[in-house]
Each structure stands twice: as structure tokens, then as C-alpha cells.
Structure 1
């Protein structure tokens, strides 16, 4: 039982908190006592070399993988653990299912259901998981497909859509659950260069017009600089440096950050 971490966070605290979070795969430590807070309506970009733990941050927050130590909190309540007596115990599947409805994730690969139309992809989870009636789910899905510029394609199956169109449907599908936080995992990496812009435009509008809390793992440095409130540079499972985009990109302090940015920006 974990008695070191609080049962709930004080009111007015961060929307997401990683408290001393460690994730190991055998002998390999991928997240090393990570501490990270993300505020309400904050847009945080995570950058860093391959193998630095970036995507693992999103996967453990989505509860796709269990952590080994520490606690993750969502909106003040423990996410990876649940209260028992005066401490916290590892959450069971029922608790996780309830809590993860507050998190939406968009993956590198679009992961749409191939046998469903764009509209059906967006109404399935609200009906099955949230218990929403079909008419309400369809109304919400149509609004969201309009938002991402995919209303005209609502009756098309994924095989009839381009990669950029599929990714925009995937964003609408995640939003249909009305998540408290959206996780974006390299959402442009599987796209052809000419359609990357259309997906970035959708994320840009979500950020500027809808005040969503978002955590984005990306290799798109220019986009991270433009859209983020804060950029975190990950190295060896820790945040080696973080700051505003101007601080991190114009005046990095950490040698690893400087080395990474030189390599990435020179390559572009």
C-alpha cells in the first residue's frame, strides 16, 4: 500500500500529475521517477530522442500500461491507484475503466474500425461506454466531424479515406468522449508530407478555440514551438529541461537539449 502519496490532490491543483512515476521493462527503466504537472487548458509538447520515454508517458497516462512505482493523478483523483483505508492500492480494472473515460488518445496509426463508417467510428464508444442514446451520440459526432472538416465524408469507410482524413476522424472520435485531456502521439508521423498540414490545422484550432488540455509527443519542432504553452525535453526517462517554447528553442541550458535541437533542426 502506498501511503507516501495523497489520496486526493488539493483543489485548484493540476489536471494531470505524475508523482515519482517509474516504468520499467525488465532491467530497462523507461521512466525514472518522473514528476510532471499539466495544468487545466495547458498545451504541453514532449520532444526528445527515440527511446527517451516520450510515448511511454502517454501510454501509462492512458492506462494502456501499468507503472512500477509512483502515482498518476487525473483531475485531483488517483488514476493508477485507488483509495483503500489511509493509503492507495493499485487500481483494479473496473476503477481504470471508469477513470480512463476522462482521457482521449490519438495514435500514430489511426486505429479506426475498418468495418464502420466515419460516423459509426465516432458514435460507438459514447454509446457503449458512456451509455449515450444513439440520437445524442450522432448529433455530437456530426458536430465533431464538421469541426475537423470531415462531415462530407461521414458515410465513408476508412479504406476510402486518405491518411490525413483518417487521422482527422480519429481526432473527432477521441473528442466524442468529451475527455478532460487529449493525448496526441506523433499524430503526423504516418502521414504523407502533403497532408500533414491539414491535421496540424485541426490541432491548432482545438488549441486556440476550444481550450482543450493536450499533451503532444511530436517531432514537428516548428509546430511544437508555435502551439505549446510549455515544451519538455525528455532524455533517459526524465525531463532534462522544460520551459516556454522561446526559452527551450532559443536559449536551451542543458547540453543534451542543445545537442538534440542542433541535430533535429539541422536535419530539417
Structure 2
């Protein structure tokens, strides 16, 4: 494995490791992103962040917002599978954004990347709501996998306010305990959602939680994966590793 890019700043060592065509972004030894130009899925936590979009009809997602872009792992599958009219991604760390733009080179034409604080950006945002918001906020100096932004009452209500009437919200937690201890798990705080799901995979402890405005069932996700010519072979061969459980 070769180190093909490296930066160090404020006690954080950023490195991109390459093995064959596969590249991975690390910060202080913790992996934050990866990219393979010939593979749509990673077989890891990043797949769990876009999979909930398939709980609903994909053509519904005209406007997509990613909070915490990292190295941009999510951009190729969202572009390929959802083809949104508008995609905005906000990333606080300039080194992560540089990897997305210049090393992985995954930012497509017309896709807007913003260098800035995701919380401040969304609090200031006054435009159309988004059909899909993916919130994946983990600090690069965290040597343990835990959220950089607490999922408190104010933040989860801000997120909900910017999701469209038939939209989906996806949030990434370090583990299920972190989710259960947050306001995202409080049914009173999270009124206005019809269905809630937890997604996990075999190689990580993360708990990805998806909330949908419209009623949904996990069988809908499985059915759409099986019907998609790009994803069905990966599902059969075990390369798309996920577990989903309805929380309602």
C-alpha cells in the first residue's frame, strides 16, 4: 500500500493510501473516505448512507444535501443512482475537500461543494427544502468513531425543517448507543416522520439511522436492489453488505 498524498496540520496527519485502483483517506489513522473508479459500492458504512434513498422512488430525489462530504465517497453512487437536479455538499475540513476535488476527483459538473461549517451553513440556509439530507459529521481529529456535532433537539429540528414534505433524512452515529442517547431517538422531538430505520454492516460499529416522511418498509429497499441491474449482481455476490431494521 502506497501513500500517494499527505498533509499534516494542527496535530492531524492526513494521508491517502492506494492499493491498486482503490484509494482511502485517513486522518490520524482513522479512515474517513474511500474511492474506487470502477466500483459503485464500498461494502462498508458509506453504502449505508445512500441506501435509504431506495426506500422511496429514486426519481423523487431532485435536491440532495450532504453535510460532511469527507473525501466524497458518496458522490458517485448518488450521481449514478439518483441523478439529482441539485446536489450540494458541505465540508468543514479543507484537506478532506481537497481530496474529493483533486485526489479522488469525484466532484461532478454542476455539483456544488462548500467549504464551511455544516451547522452554521444549514442554520443560515433559506432556500428550497431538500428531498434527501445525509448528515455525516465526524471530526478528523477524532481517534474514536463518534459524532462531531451532538444530535441535540435544536440540531435535529433544524435538519427536519429543511427536509421536503416527502423527503428522507439520514444520520450517521458512532454506534447504536450514541443514537439512543440522542434527541434523534426521542419520538416527541422527531414528530413528522412516518418511518424510522437502523442500517448497519459487518465491518463497522456505526449505526446509520434513516427517517422517511412517507411510510416505508425495508422490503421496498430489498426489492429495488434486486430490480436494479447495477446493484443486483453486487447484492448476490455479497459485495453490498447491509442490515436494516425498522425502528417503529
Q: Same fold (TM over 0.5)?
A: no
Q: Which has the higher contact order (CA 8 A, sep 6+)?
A: 1
TMscore range, shorter length: 0.3 to 0.5
TM-score, structure 1 normalization: 0.32
Instruction: Point out the structure with max Rg over C-alpha.
Output: 1
TM-score by length of 2: 0.34
More helix by share: 1
Which structure has greater strand proportion? 2
